[in-house]
């Protein structure tokens, strides 16, 4: 473990050695800025940052000409085991070898900055414990919503408040696709094709469109907001592949837009407060601040007891924005190294129960194609009543063969709402439940 | 100076003594939460927070029944001089006695949390220096935009990035008044009356409507964003008292709204980078994220080199939101006390020149009532050309006695633009310059 370096205000302390793991889009940008902005960063840290090595999988790939060739190595394990590295930046992603490298880096006395949402959502506890054991920092602002400061606000700015609910648009690909469907009226497949053509969706878009990426971020947010350990297995997850042009139209008719939301909330149960974390498409009113988040932008909307409603908005991905978040963390943990201190660690003292989606309180929008004959409305209304679900608004449209009932419920347990929808599908006079989607952000 | 207290993860370290200076709306809320949430805050800090005293001006006022009467004292100086206080919270406001009390608190070894924008904008340097001398924290998230985390994001999250520009709606009263004018078409006086009636403006609204409050916040933001000492004297300030219903209508006709903006930006000059900080009403396009900030809400829009465009939105004032920001800082500095460390101090290494408003690059919207006769447009256009100002759009409306020219310029030095307006007023065929306002956020 390296000794605590000394410093002075002019940035002239002993240089801190920085190792970079991964040199893709984000890594290249981080390395480039570490070199280009070295003088300015030294002032901000109180000591120069010296890029000591860059671990890559393939040494023969063409690299940014500004980066010294002799920094590159394929021996990531060797780099983090050197023992003289002060800060390790991990932008490889995925579970292994990232986890092993981070743990090795910490064991060797480095502070760690990571953008790895999948690993944090899978196993943050192991990383936190390893960092605490050696009195080093584990920072991960870039893991949630790219350049948007949300980890630090939750960990520090709101540390004196009680967060009640977080609604996040935390995946740019799905927001781009849903925004395109809203703007053009196109279907999901067409909008996804367009997103891929423009580079907003990957060739294999599964992690984004099935909600895995957003679910990782939901786990991280819920853990920070509620001082409770939450992992991706605790997060209910539905992607956007089933969202249809009809859903988007139906949303529009009631003054809403469809967004993929990561929702983390505190729920008061008879047994005391608990936590729910879920990712699914939802309709939100046009007037909600999240409704105007367009294209691939991200935004996180926080409701807390004292602060009220806050929103954080910005680019949620991309090389430069993610590099901004990574370098903000690098400056913070490097400053801490200079002073021989560490920032806040894991906070899980609340240990709240994480509830199943069935116990979350939601409201549904349901569009039902029905036979237009006497007694239909009564029968449908009865189905809702049987599950204790109260109807907020009902609209009947069309006639003859085309009759449709559009119903918005009051808040109820999600289990009761989904059971109602299942029961509706079984009714003789119901031809089809053409749209069933949760509604959020409605007062 | 008190010794560094020990701690464990359960919040069972030696209690930290907290002194509160001021018990108005914000102070009462802070005190109430410190008492009510004592157990939770102890977990977050790593040690209990013990409210040790509350300094007030008048001891006989009725107080919150939850607050022990024996905590109150009129001897603020005595309270901060006791020598056993770990954290002092200053919510008195104003320059003196706040400054003297904060300095005394620091000299006696306390960390300080303050919401005092006026003092920070006037004399942050003295406070920072005093804090650094004794190795204590000076935190002031609540001084800018109430509950919205903006101080910490600028100081820490964006510490690895280069901020280029900050546009802020940082005064709730003026935003409420301008929003009312926009919504109802009313004039300034009528909208201000309404704001006062609803409690959004004080009986003496000068500090808000003349832009002093926003200018203080601009000074604080500019200092943090550009690592340069900026005080309120460096900030160009215009209030909203001259904004007319005609200005608002004229803005609306070009797809804009009028907002009071605090604008802090880096300007590249032939002599290198410099800083400009200014507060004035401006037209911004309806499509700009700041345009949808309604009523008394605040928002801060940040443009930085790597992160791109970020926005932070929320309630900018009020007892509970401000208490949230204060308590977030209290938890941070108390955590630091438990560990015997301090957070980041003043960062002024860049020492950029702060430019006069005349050297800022702006664009103007000008509405001119003219005689409708041959050669008017040529003469007016010539006036712009003489000052090197390039016209972006021109619209001529009405005829006969009512002819009006509405001109939007390209970007130019503010001095050239204001000189142009002055010259226009001198033209024979110009009856009146009925609206002249800067336009921001237009690409």
Domain shared by B284 and B229, yes or no:
yes
pLDDT at B399: 62
Exposed/middle/buried for residue A325 (C-beta within 10 Å: 0-12, 13-18, 19+): buried
Cβ contact, residue pair B44, A347, below 8 Å: yes
User: Nearest CA to CA, how far is B272 from chain A (Å)?
Assistant: 15
Measure the CA–CA gap between B37 and B326, rounded to whole angstroms: 14
Domain shared by A125 and A208, yes or no:
no
- Structural tokens at position A429: 């006079």
Domain shared by A332 and A221, yes or no:
no
User: Using one digit for the tens of pLDDT, what is the confidence trace for B272-295?
Assistant: 999 999 999 999 999 999 999 999
Q: Which pLDDT band holds residue B344 (cuts at 50, 70, 90)?
A: confident
Question: Does A183 touch chain B if contact means CB atoms closer than 8 Å?
Answer: no
Rounded to the nearest integer, the mean pLDDT of chain A is 94
Exposed/middle/buried for residue B374 (C-beta within 10 Å: 0-12, 13-18, 19+): exposed
Cα B219–B223–B227 angle (5° rounding)?
165
pLDDT value at A6 more than 90: no
pLDDT at A12: 67
CATH of residue B388's domain is 3.30.70.260
- Structural tokens at position B421: 């307006």
User: Using one digit for the tens of pLDDT, what is the confidence trace for A150-187?
Assistant: 999 999 999 999 999 999 999 999 999 999 999 999 99
The answer to the question of residue B7 being in a domain is no
Span B190-202, average pLDDT: 96
Question: What are the C-alpha distances in Å from B170 to residues A57, A261, B63, B140, B296?
Answer: 48, 29, 30, 15, 9
Nearest to B408 by CA among B185, B256, B181: B256
Measure the CA–CA gap between B290 and B287, rounded to whole angstroms: 8
The answer to the question of residue B10 being in a domain is no
Domain shared by B60 and B123, yes or no:
yes
Measure the CA–CA gap between A44 and B47, rounded to whole angstroms: 30
Query: Residue B241 CB: number of other CB atoms within 10 A?
Result: 17
Cβ contact, residue pair A161, B328, below 8 Å: yes
pLDDT value at A4 more than 60: no
pLDDT at A5: 42
- Structural tokens at position B433: 């310059």
Cα A109–A224–B36 angle (5° rounding)?
120
Measure the CA–CA gap between A360 and A280, rounded to whole angstroms: 13
pLDDT value at A384 more than 70: yes
Q: What are B267's strand-pairing partners?
A: B274
Provide the greatest CA pair distance for chain A. 84
pLDDT value at B100 more than 70: yes
Pick B347's closest partner by Cβ from A41, A44, A315. Answer: A44
**Which residue's entry shows tokens 């920032």?**
A343
The answer to the question of residue B231 being in a domain is yes
The answer to the question of residue B120 being in a domain is yes
Domain shared by A115 and A236, yes or no:
no
Domain shared by B182 and B260, yes or no:
yes
pLDDT at A399: 61
Domain shared by A324 and A295, yes or no:
no
- Structural tokens at position A359: 């116990």
Q: Among A315, A330, A349, identify where a domain stops.
A: A315
CATH of residue A96's domain is 3.40.50.720
pLDDT value at B5 more than 50: no
Span A410-414, average pLDDT: 96
pLDDT value at B113 more than 70: yes
Pick the residue of A128, A154, A158, A307 with the most B CBs within 10 A to test the interface with B by mutation.
A307
Nearest CA in chain B to A29: B306
Nearest CA in chain B to A34: B160
Domain shared by A139 and A191, yes or no:
no
Nearest to B213 by CA among B127, B112, B149, B119: B119
Question: What are the C-alpha distances in Å from B177 to residues B172, B286, B294, B313, B329?
Answer: 9, 17, 10, 18, 31
Measure the CA–CA gap between A87 and B86, rounded to whole angstroms: 32
User: Nearest CA to CA, how far is B71 from chain A (Å)?
Assistant: 21
The answer to the question of residue B152 being in a domain is no
pLDDT at B11: 59
* E strand segments, B126-231: 138-139, 163-169
Question: Does A291 touch chain B if contact means CB atoms closer than 8 Å?
Answer: no
The answer to the question of residue A102 being in a domain is yes
Nearest to A161 by CA among A305, A7, A43, A315: A305
User: Using one digit for the tens of pLDDT, what is the confidence trace for B238-258?
Assistant: 999 999 999 999 999 999 999
Q: Among A304, A339, A374, identify where a domain stops.
A: A339
Domain shared by A46 and A69, yes or no:
yes
The answer to the question of residue A348 being in a domain is no
Interface pTM, i.e. ipTM: 0.92
User: Nearest CA to CA, how far is B56 from chain A (Å)?
Assistant: 23
CATH of residue A258's domain is 3.30.360.10
Domain shared by B185 and B115, yes or no:
no
pLDDT value at A103 more than 50: yes
Contacts of B187 (CB under 8 A, 6+ apart): B181, B244, B245
Cβ contact, residue pair A349, B43, below 8 Å: yes
Domain shared by A306 and A267, yes or no:
yes
Measure the CA–CA gap between A36 and A49, rounded to whole angstroms: 11
Pick A41's closest partner by Cβ from B37, B160, B341. Answer: B160
pLDDT value at B373 more than 90: no
Number of structural domains in chain B: 3
* E strand segments, B80-159: 87-90, 111-114, 138-139
pLDDT value at A360 more than 90: yes
**What DSSP string runs through B321-365?**
HHHHHHHHHHHHHHHHHHHT--------TT-PEEPPGGGSEEEEE
Chain A positions in Cβ-Cβ contact with residue B311 (cut-off 8 Å): 311-314
Chain B positions in Cβ-Cβ contact with residue A161 (cut-off 8 Å): 324, 327-328
A59 close to A74: Cβ distance less than 8 angstroms: yes
User: What is the DSSP code (8-state) at residue A5?
Assistant: P
Cβ contact, residue pair B324, A158, below 8 Å: yes
Q: Among B315, B331, B347, identify where a domain stops.
A: B315
Domain with A77 in it: 16-147+319-339
Helix-helix angle A319-339:A25-36, to 10 degrees: 50
Reduced to 3 states, what is the DSSP secondary structure of residue A149?
A: coil
The answer to the question of residue B214 being in a domain is yes
Contacts of A112 (CB under 8 A, 6+ apart): A87, A88, A89, A90, A102, A105, A106, A127, A131, A136, A137, A138, A139, A333
A31 close to A49: Cβ distance less than 8 angstroms: no
Cβ contact, residue pair A157, B325, below 8 Å: yes
pLDDT value at A3 more than 90: no
Lowest mean pLDDT among A114-118, A330-334, B2-6, B310-314: B2-6
Residues in the annotated binding site of B: 21-28, 117, 202
pLDDT at A374: 81
Provide the greatest CA pair distance for chain B. 84
pLDDT at A183: 96
pLDDT at B400: 64
Exposed/middle/buried for residue A121 (C-beta within 10 Å: 0-12, 13-18, 19+): buried
Please tell me the number of Cα atoms within 13 Å of B74 on its side-chain side.
Answer: 5
pLDDT at A8: 42
Question: Does B332 touch chain A if contact means CB atoms closer than 8 Å?
Answer: yes
Question: Does A385 touch chain B if contact means CB atoms closer than 8 Å?
Answer: no
Measure the CA–CA gap between A429 and A435, rounded to whole angstroms: 16
A138 close to A127: Cβ distance less than 8 angstroms: yes
Domain shared by B309 and B165, yes or no:
yes
Measure the CA–CA gap between A315 and B126, rounded to whole angstroms: 37
Cβ contact, residue pair B308, A341, below 8 Å: no
Measure the CA–CA gap between B260 and B279, rounded to whole angstroms: 7
Question: Does the annotation mark A217 as catalytic?
Answer: yes
Lowest mean pLDDT among A298-302, B10-14, B129-133: B10-14
For chain A, give the percent of residues with pLDDT over 90. 88
């Amino acid at each position: 473990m390296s000794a605590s370096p000394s410093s002075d205000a002019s940035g002239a302390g002993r240089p801190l050695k920085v190792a970079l793991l991964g040199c893709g889009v984000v890594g290249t940008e981080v390395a480039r800025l570490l070199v280009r902005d070295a003088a300015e960063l030294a002032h901000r840290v109180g000591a120069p940052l010296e890029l000591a090595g860059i671990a890559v999988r393939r040494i023969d790939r063409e690299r940014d000409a500004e980066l010294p060739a002799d920094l590159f190595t394929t021996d990531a394990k060797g780099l983090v085991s050197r023992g003289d590295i002060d800060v390790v930046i991990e932008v490889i992603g995925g579970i292994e070898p990232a986890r092993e490298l981070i743990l090795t880096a910490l064991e060797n006395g480095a502070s760690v900055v990571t953008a790895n949402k999948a690993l944090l959502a899978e196993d943050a506890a192991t990383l936190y414990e390893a960092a605490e054991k050696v009195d080093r920092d584990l920072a991960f602002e870039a893991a949630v919503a790219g350049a948007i400061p949300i980890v630090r606000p939750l960990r520090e700015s709101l540390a004196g408040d009680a967060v009640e609910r977080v609604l996040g648009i935390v995946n740019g690909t799905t927001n781009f696709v849903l925004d395109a469907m809203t703007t053009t009226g196109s279907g999901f497949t067409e909008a996804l094709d367009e997103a891929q053509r423009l580079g907003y969706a990957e060739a294999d878009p599964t992690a984004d469109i099935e909600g895995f990426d957003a679910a990782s971020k939901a786990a991280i947010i819920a853990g920070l907001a509620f001082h409770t350990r939450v992992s991706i297995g605790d997060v209910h997850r539905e992607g956007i592949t089933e969202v249809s042009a009809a859903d988007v139209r139906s949303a529009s008719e009631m003054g809403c837009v469809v967004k993929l939301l990561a929702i983390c909330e505190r729920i008061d149960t008879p047994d005391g407060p608990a936590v729910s974390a879920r990712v699914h498409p939802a309709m939100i009113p046009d007037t909600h601040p999240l409704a105007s988040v367009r294209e691939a932008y991200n935004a996180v909307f926080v409701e807390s007891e004292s602060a009220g409603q806050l929103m954080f908005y910005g680019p949620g991905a991309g090389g430069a924005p993610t590099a901004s978040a990574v370098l903000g963390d690098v400056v913070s943990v490097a400053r801490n190294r200079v002073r021989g201190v560490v920032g806040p660690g894991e906070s899980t003292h609340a240990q709240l129960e994480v509830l199943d989606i069935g116990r979350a309180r939601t409201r549904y929008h349901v569009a039902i194609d029905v036979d237009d004959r006497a007694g239909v409305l009564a029968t449908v209304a009865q189905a809702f009543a049987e599950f204790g679900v109260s109807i907020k608004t009902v609209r009947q449209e069309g006639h003859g063969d085309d009759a449709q009932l559009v119903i918005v419920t009051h808040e109820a347990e999600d289990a009761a709402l989904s059971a109602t929808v299942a029961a509706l599908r079984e009714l003789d006079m119901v031809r089809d439940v053409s749209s069933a989607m949760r509604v959020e952000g409605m007062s």
